[in-house]
Amino acid sequence: MNFLKLTILLAIVGGSVWLLIEHRRWFTDPALVKAQVVEWGAWGPVVYMLLYAVGPSFLVPGAVMTIAGGMAFGAMWGSVYSLIGGDIGALIAFAAGRFLGKSFVERVVGERFHSMLNRIAKHGFQIILYLRFVPLIPYNALNLLAGASPITFRDYFWATMIGMIPGTILYAFLGDALWHPMSPKFFLALLLIGASVGCGEIYRRWTRVTIDE
């Protein structure tokens, strides 16, 4: 069983690495996404969503991917494609964590997240929702930990769906505004992102009893 787990993990990692290497310039210059999308036509959004699904596994910040989506597709469609890609990636990582098991995931993400596993087990929905608003730990580490914890799929699914919406919309809005970086739209996007983080902190304080151990 351990050999099977390792084989599946290597296959996923290998395919993801290939995708990222093929399109690595997107992550250093998000403006290139727009040119590539125009070149690919209808396939552009599909490739973008696939890259978004695997990018956070290799330390590509989700915010960078969403900004690139906003630049390429505009605020509305950039938000839609980013949400689809991000949600697919979150569900795949959750399934991987559940399949690989608690001990395997702990070895992958490190002992420092052991206490987080215990908190997710007790207050799964609140923890996941808060960490979608305010990403204090790596995106895919959280997904793996959630999969390895006893949290129900329903709680994980809805906390992820709800929690990702505000930040995704705002970062896509920022990406769209980056074409005119000194415009009122650009500064409004920054203000709204700051407000979103502030709302996440208010939520954490309001639910302190259930989130903190």
Split at pLDDT 50, 70, 90, the class of 190 is confident
pLDDT in tens, 106-120: 665 555 566 666 677
Residue 108's pLDDT is what? 59
pLDDT in tens, 138-188: 677 778 778 877 788 888 899 899 988 988 998 999 988 888 888 888 889
The span from the CA of 100 to the CA of 112, in Å, is 18
The tokens describing 169, both together, are 């919309």
Residue 173's pLDDT is what? 92
Distance of alpha carbon 33 from the chain centroid:
18
SS3 content of the chain, % helix, strand, coil (to 5): 85, 0, 15
What percent of the chain shows pLDDT beyond 70? Answer: 65
The domain ranges of the chain are 2-211
- What does pLDDT average to over the chain? 76
The span from the CA of 185 to the CA of 71, in Å, is 13
Residue 209's pLDDT is what? 42
pLDDT in tens, 132-149: 877 667 677 778 778 877
Categorise residue 137: left if φ over 0, alpha if ψ from -120 to 50, beta otherwise. Answer: beta
Compute how many other C-beta atoms are within 10 angstroms of the C-beta atom of residue 89: 25
Residue 58's pLDDT is what? 58
* pLDDT over 70 at 42, yes or no: yes
Residue 19's pLDDT is what? 58
Residue 103's pLDDT is what? 67
